[in-house]
Copies of this chain bind each other. A is one copy, B any other.
Amino acid sequence: MSNALSTAGQRLTSELHRLTPSDPKMASQKMWAVVAGVGPGTGAQVARRFAKNYAVALLARNPANYEDLVKEINSTGGRAIGISTDCADKASVSAAFDQLKKEDGFNGNLAAAIYNVGGTFIRKPFLELTDEEFEMGWKTNGLGGAHFSRAVLPLLLETEKASAPYPPTLIFTSATAALRGGALFSSFATGKFAMRALSQSLAREFGPKGVHVVHAIIDGVIDIPRTKEWKFDAPDAKISPESIADSYWHVHTQPRTSFTYELDIRPYCEKW
């Protein structure tokens, strides 16, 4: 048998090992991933992808956003819980992690945390924005990202000291508005610029401690139910959430010798 085949065989064995439905005790020893901002698109696919290897905690304000997904994952060999959380509210984030820490099998073994909270996208003349609208960008992306980071970083630092298959990882889902403040987008752009500043600052502070911080710039329309009817001249013009999830998983598996901090993802036909 060739080396390549032999390697494939070894991979299968380890894959089977990972995927074998485990008894409850084993399941309770699984590592965890937390995904904040689970809706019908990126968050759900990221959750499905990370649920192949980890127990997953899904955070969303509205339980309707995670209930079906929790059932789906639990019924297909994975483990998931949902916790209603408003990431812009520090008390809500604290309560969510208090609940998670009491969860059977959660003992600080957090492998990955994904902040995928986007908030409502506001396009409006600056002088017509209400105070609440203007601050929404910051609260969702900057402040919420910081609340989430403060909750997960101590856990990720613990994981780093334990033996884990991959470096503990914190991923921020961002957008082109993190690089360019467009006219009429002052709310969203201030929030996404702040998210990028936060993630850079954390990458530089916690990278040397072994925590992998990633800023992912999603540039384009994502293929989700809400955008189903949006038509484009080119086929395949919408970003596949599965691909985003694959890229998130890929960066999660990078060893600490070789961390990617920032990557962009856009359809081949997107103008940029």
Contacts and interface: CB of A to CB of B under 8 A. Distances in A.
A184 interface: yes
| Chain copies in the assembled complex | 4
Interface of A: 2-5, 8, 11-12, 15-16, 19-21, 52, 76-78, 90, 125-127, 131, 134-135, 138, 142-143, 146, 149-150, 153-154, 167, 177, 180-186, 189-194, 196-202, 204-208, 210, 212, 223, 234, 236-240, 243-244, 246-247, 250, 253-272
B257 A236 contact: yes
A262 B259 contact: no
A237 B256 CA distance: 9
Given A134-B146, A257-B243, A259-B265, A196 B181 contact: yes
A76 B3 CA distance: 6
The 3 closest A-B pairs by CB, nearest first: A181-B200, A243-B258, A2-B77
B212 A183 contact: no
Contacts of A183: 201, 204-205
